[in-house]
Amino acid sequence: MSLGTYIYKMRGLMNLKRYQNLFLFKQRSVAEHSWSVSKIAHYLGKLENDKFGNPVDMGVLLQKGLFHDDIELYTGDILSHTKRMSKLMKKAVTQVENMAFENNFTKIIPSEWQNDYKSHILHAKDGTLEGDILHASDIIDTILESVEEIKLGNREDFDGILVEVTEKLLEMDLLSVKYFLKYDLEKFGLDIQPHYGDKVYEYIQSIENV
């Protein structure tokens, strides 16, 4: 029972860059993204569990954060916008990811652990509370990446990305997300209305104290 090959190969995520089709002032790796998502997920999970009384399995949540983009070592970083271009595209990406898992991960993960790893790698955003927190955390890290690029003057693409991804949070029925929007988003250093848009600004204004 060994994961030595898996551990060795996953270090490749340190060299796999995000947003490979966009100009970036600050290059970020998939490994950096997974670390950041896990930190954000821990914060949201603590809010849900400790402040709002919604039990969160922190072990499962952090595993989702750490593993959710491992498949990209073999598929590359396929942009979310590309994945959602059509139902056919989304289905095709799902098929490619499943093939990548079967062709690669099954050879380096012990058979008795493969279902657990497959769940965290391919089905991390599974509709559970932990999956929803991961989804929100993934979005928040993209917000952070966009904010950093905008502050460096890279606005042609990232102005639009910032608004698009932040609006996704408005659709999430998590108290931790509402808390984040109400009290934390402004701490990223950009004024809400001019940078995130009227829809986000008005939503935040409508949130009662949480």
Which tens digit of pLDDT belongs to each residue from 106-119?
A: 999 999 999 999 99
Mean pLDDT throughout 137-154?
A: 98
Count CA atoms within 13 Å of residue 130 on its CB side: 18
CATH of the domain at 146: 1.10.3210.10
Expressed as residue numbers, the domain containing 50 is 4-206
Q: Show Cβ contacts of residue 92 under 8 Å, excluding neighbours closer than 6 positions.
A: none
Return the sign of the alpha-carbon dihedral for residues 43, 47, 50, 51.
positive
pLDDT at residue 20, as a whole number: 83
pLDDT in tens, 42-65: 999 999 999 999 999 999 999 999
pLDDT at residue 81, as a whole number: 67
Q: 89 by DSSP, 3-state: which?
A: helix
Contact 77, 30 (CB under 8 A): yes
Structure tokens at 120: 């965290």
**pTM exceeds 0.75 for this model:** yes
Total structural domains in the chain?
Answer: 1
Candidates 155, 190, 196, 167; CA nearest to 22 is 155
Mean pLDDT throughout 133-159?
A: 97
Q: 29 by DSSP, 3-state: which?
A: strand
Return the sign of the alpha-carbon dihedral for residues 52, 50, 176, 188.
positive
Confidence of residue 210 (pLDDT cuts 50, 70, 90): confident
